[in-house]
Structure 1
Amino acid sequence: MLKSKNTLFILSAVLVISLLLSGMVTAQGTTFLSIATGGTSGTYYPIGGALAKVLNENIDNMNASAQSTGASVTNTRLIYNQEVELAILQNDIANYAVNGERQFEGNQVNNMSGVASLYPEVIQIIVRSDAGINNIADLKGKSVAVGAPGSGAEANASQILDFFGLSYDDIEEDYLSFGEAASRLKDRQIDAAFLTAGIPTAAVMDVAATQDIKLLNFSDQDIESLNEAYPYLTGVTVPAGTYNGLDNDVQTVALQAILVAESSLSEDVVYNITKAIFENRDTLIAAHDRARDITLDGAMSGMTVELHPGAQKYYDEVK
C-alpha cells in the first residue's frame, strides 16, 4: 500500500510540474504566463506590459506578467529552457534560432512557434553631435555602446560594423542596455550607441532632451547592399521631429518584432491569446504608439518561424 501511495505521489508531482512548465493550470484553474520582453527603456517592455494587461482582462482565469530581460537572444534561450511561455524578439534572431545558425549553431531551438508579427524595429545609431561622427567609418577609435549582452541590438551592431569593414577591435565597445547607454551619452562618457527598437524610443528621447544628438544616415546604396547581405534588414525612414533636434528625415534599416510562444502551450490557450490581442488593439495603442502597427493584415508579415496551431486557427477564422 505504501509503495502505491508513493507511486501516486510521484505521478502527481510530475503532472503538476509539466503543467506549470507548459503554462497550463494550477489547482485553482488559473493559467500563469510569463512574457519575456527587454530593458525598461526600450519598446518591448511597455508592449509586453500592455499584452499582459490585455490577456488578464480578456481571458478567464489568466495571470500573465511581463518580465524585463536582455531582449531577443536572451528571450530565445528562455523559451528554449521553458522558463517563459511568450516572448518578443527580432525576426532575424528567431530565424537563426529555429535553423541553428550563427549564435545558435549546435543549439537549434525546436520549441518556438509564431503568434504574430508586431511592428518594425528600427536600427538607430545615435551619436553625440560634437563627437565628429558622420558615418560608420568615423566610429573607429570611438567609445560605442553596442547593446546589452544577449540582445538583438548587439547582434545588429556586430553585423553592421562587420559589413562596413570594422570590428570590436576598432572601437571601444561597451555592452550596455538602452537605459545605460542613454545615461552614458548624457554624461558624455560614450560617443555613440546602437539601439534596435520601435520609434520613438524612450531612451533616445531621454538623451535628446538634454544633449544635441544625431542619427547616422544610410545611403540608398548602403540599404540595398545591407538588404542583400541580411534579407531581414529593410529600408525605413525616421521622420524629422521624431526626436528633439532631429530636423531632417534619416534613412536607416529595420527588422520586425514578433511575438512567439513556447510550442507546448495548448491550441486553446494560444488561440485565446491571439484573439485577445487583435480584438483589444486600443489598449495596446494606449500603452505605446508603436502598437498601431499591430494589425491583422500584417500579422504574418516577416514571421520567420512556423505559426502555433492556436494562432493559425484564429487567423483562419477571421480571413
Structure 2
Amino acid sequence: MHRDSRPPRHAPRRIGLARRAVLAVLAVAAALVVLGPDGRAQQPPEDVTVLRIATGPTGGTYFPIGGLIANAISNPPGSRPCDRGGSCGVPGLIAAAVSTSGSVVNVQSLKAGTADMALVQADVGFWAWSAEGIYSGGEAVENLRALARLYPESIHLVARTGSGIESVADLKGKRVSVGEKGSGTLVEARLILNAHGLKLNDVKPAYIRPGPSADRLADDELDAFFFVGGAPIQAIADLAERDEITLVPIDGQAADKLAGVFPYLTHNVIPADTYPNQTRAIATLAVGAVLLTTAEMSDEMAYAITKSLWHPTSLELYRSGHPGGRKLDPSRADDDTGVPLHPGAKRFYDERARIAAEETAPVAGP
C-alpha cells in the first residue's frame, strides 16, 4: 500500500457492532436508573439484576468480545421472547462490559467485588487461584470460579519495519511497549523476554495500552510492542492499514521450553492475511481466554448465564459481531479453564454431555 493512500494517522474509527452492543446495554441500564426525590440514583427494580464484566483495553479483543457477551446474556424486562426473535439471555439480567487494563486488574476486581465477571488469561487466573507464578508468596484468590474457556489468545509482537527487529533477541536496547501495568500482556512479555535471556531492563520498556502503543510506533517513538489477544486485534489492524509493520515470530527452542513449562501456553499460528499486508503465517504462542466469576455467584445464575452464553443465537452474534468471535468454541468451553468450574456452569456442561451421549447412543433392537 502506498503511504499517500493510507488514512490519516488519527482518523476516527468506525464504531463496530461490538461497541454498539455495549452502548446499547449501557443505555438500557441507564434507562432503568430511578432518581429519588433528592435527585440521587436509587436501586433498579427488584426484578432486574445488573452485572459488570471486566474486560480489557478498547483497542484489544477483550472489550469488544466482552460487549458481545454482555449483549448475549442480557434480557432486560420487556424484551421480545427468544422464540420470537428477541433476547435469549437471562430474564431480568443486564450485563455491561467495562474497559480495564486487563487480566491482572480483572482478578483484583473480582476479589474486591467491583466486578461480577471478568475476561482473564487462563494462566493469570490459575496463578491467582493457586498463589503461584506472579502471585507466589501472596494470598490465593480461592473463590475464583470459571464459567467458560472462550478462545485462544495469540501473543503478538509487532515491530516497525526497518527497525531491525526480526526476532525476540533483537529487542535488546530497543524501545518496547510491554503492556500496561496490571495487564496479562505484561505477564507474557516478561516470560518471553526471560526465555530469550533478556530482562525488562535490557529493553527500554514502556507500559501502555495497545492503541497508544500503535500510535507511538507509527510516530517512531517505539520500535516494537507486545499485545496478547484474539486475532485480529483492531489496533494492530488499523496500524497495518496506515504503516508498514512486521509481525515477529515467537518460536524455536525458547517457545518450546515455555510451552513445556507452562501448561496454559500453546503453540499457535497467526494465519497469513489476518492483518493488512501480512503475506505469511506467523508462528507464536497462545494462552486461553476464560470467563471467570466467583463462588459468590449463585448456582442458578451461573447456570443461566452459561446456558445463554452458548445459545445458538449467541454464537451467531459472536460470529457476526467481531472477527475474533468466530473463535469462541463451545466444544472446548469446559477445558483448561485454569480454575475450578462454577457448580452452576458444570451443571450446564454435564447436561450438555449427557444429551449428546443420548443422541449418539445406538438404538436398541427389538
Fold match, TM over 0.5? yes
**C-alpha contact 2:196 2:254 (8 A) present in aligned 1:** no
Instruction: Find 2:109's aligned residue among 78, 82, 85.
Output: 78
**C-alpha contact 1:79 1:111 (8 A) present in aligned 2:** no
Change (3 A) 1:27 1:248: closer
Q: Helix, strand or coil: the match of 1:209? A: helix
Structure 2 equivalent of residue 244 of structure 1: 276
**C-alpha contact 2:48 2:92 (8 A) present in aligned 1:** yes
CA distance in 1, matches of 2:254, 2:173: 22
Q: Helix, strand or coil: the match of 2:108? A: helix
**C-alpha contact 1:143 1:174 (8 A) present in aligned 2:** yes
Structure 2 equivalent of residue 113 of structure 1: 145
**C-alpha contact 1:84 1:262 (8 A) present in aligned 2:** no
Instruction: Find 2:246's aligned residue among 209, 214, 223.
Output: 214
Structure 2 counterparts to residues 1-319 of structure 1, below 5 A: 28-57=46-75, 58-105=89-136, 106-279=138-311, 280-319=314-353
Q: Tell me the percent identity.
A: 35
Q: Which piece of structure 1 moves more, 97-106 or 44-53?
A: 97-106
Ranges in structure 2 where 5+ consecutive residues have no aligned partner = 1-42, 76-88, 354-366
Q: Helix, strand or coil: the match of 1:149? A: coil
Root-mean-square deviation (CA, aligned residues, Å) is: 1.4
**C-alpha contact 1:146 1:154 (8 A) present in aligned 2:** yes
> Which residue identity is paired with 1:95?
F
**C-alpha contact 2:151 2:329 (8 A) present in aligned 1:** no
CA distance in 2, matches of 1:86, 1:219: 33
CA distance in 1, matches of 2:337, 2:224: 31
Q: Helix, strand or coil: the match of 1:301? A: coil
Write the deviation string for residues 282-311 of structure 1: whole angstroms up to 9, x where unpaired.
112222122222233111222111000110
Write the deviation string for residues 9-32 of structure 1: whole angstroms up to 9, x where unpaired.
xxxxxxxxxxxxxxxx96522111
CA distance in 2, matches of 1:121, 1:219: 16
> Which residue identity is paired with 1:253?
L
Ranges in structure 1 where 5+ consecutive residues have no aligned partner = 1-24
Q: Helix, strand or coil: the match of 2:253? A: helix
Write the deviation string for residues 17-61 of structure 1: whole angstroms up to 9, x where unpaired.
xxxxxxxx9652211100000000100000111111111132211
Aligned length: 295
> Which residue identity is paired with 2:193?
L
TM-score by length of 2: 0.78
Instruction: Return the offset for 1:222.
Output: 3.5
**C-alpha contact 1:80 1:110 (8 A) present in aligned 2:** no
> Which residue identity is paired with 2:118?
A
TM-score by length of 1: 0.89
* Higher RCO (CA 8 Å, separation ≥ 6 residues): 1
> Which residue identity is paired with 2:124?
I
Write the deviation string for residues 107-145 of structure 1: whole angstroms up to 9, x where unpaired.
210121010000000001000111011111111110000
**C-alpha contact 2:51 2:115 (8 A) present in aligned 1:** yes
